[in-house]
Amino acid sequence: MRSPMGIRLTAVLGALTVLAAMVAVTPPVLADSESDVFPPTDPPPAETVDPFGASPIDQSALTADPTAPSLATIPRATPAGQNPEPFTGTPPFSTPTVNPSNGAVVGVAKPIIINFAAPITDRPLAEGAIHISSNPPVPGKFYWMNARQVRWQPFDFWPAQTTVNIDPAGSKSSFTTGRR
């Protein structure tokens, strides 16, 4: 009859044997790039084919539109949520009130608050008509408080002494942040 200690010792030795066998297995050796074990890859087909089996894709459709703006005309380093271009087009809302007011000096946590005279039903259209930019550029986003008020706030605080320009559908305003 075996003692409980002997049974445990046998179980531990069995587990160690299995573990040793697993460690002793040699991983497969991968062929190096000089070897011809792996066949060379075939060059891509000369014709681009739709993966769903339709006719070949017209490559001319994939070229740039000559009337589209070039990358040189798109402002570089424009952070998320900002559009430094002046608003052009028909305003989708009447002149809103903007807080902070034009020329104000505010704290670095101040959001831009835009109040509309009438409820906004097409929020993406309204956001597209509100152009915000700052120097230095700061990423941020819009968030709606209700159908008559949208706010734009940077993801973090405004940097000290930042100049912020607001152009809600052509009614421009500007403010700066203080030292802290």
Segment 117-174, tens digit of pLDDT: 999 999 999 999 999 999 999 999 999 999 999 999 999 999 999 999 999 988 899 9
Task: For residue 99, give the amino acid letter.
Answer: N
Per-residue DSSP letters for 93-109? SPPPEEESPTT-EE-TT
The closest alpha carbon to 112, from 103, 99, 101, 131, belongs to: 99
Distance CA 133, CA 75 (A): 11
Q: What is the pLDDT of residues 79-123, one digit of tens each?
A: 787 887 878 888 889 999 999 999 999 999 999 999 999 999 999
| The two structure tokens encoding residue 17 | 């044997």
At the topology level, CATH places domain 78-177 in Immunoglobulin-like (2.60.40)
What is the SS3 assignment for 20? helix
Distance CA 99, CA 115 (A): 8
Distance CA 84, CA 126 (A): 16
Number of C-beta neighbours around residue 146 at 10 A: 10
Q: pLDDT at residue 21 above 60? A: no
pLDDT of 147 = 96
In the chain, where the domains are located: 78-177
| The two structure tokens encoding residue 24 | 């002793």
Average pLDDT over residues 64-87: 59
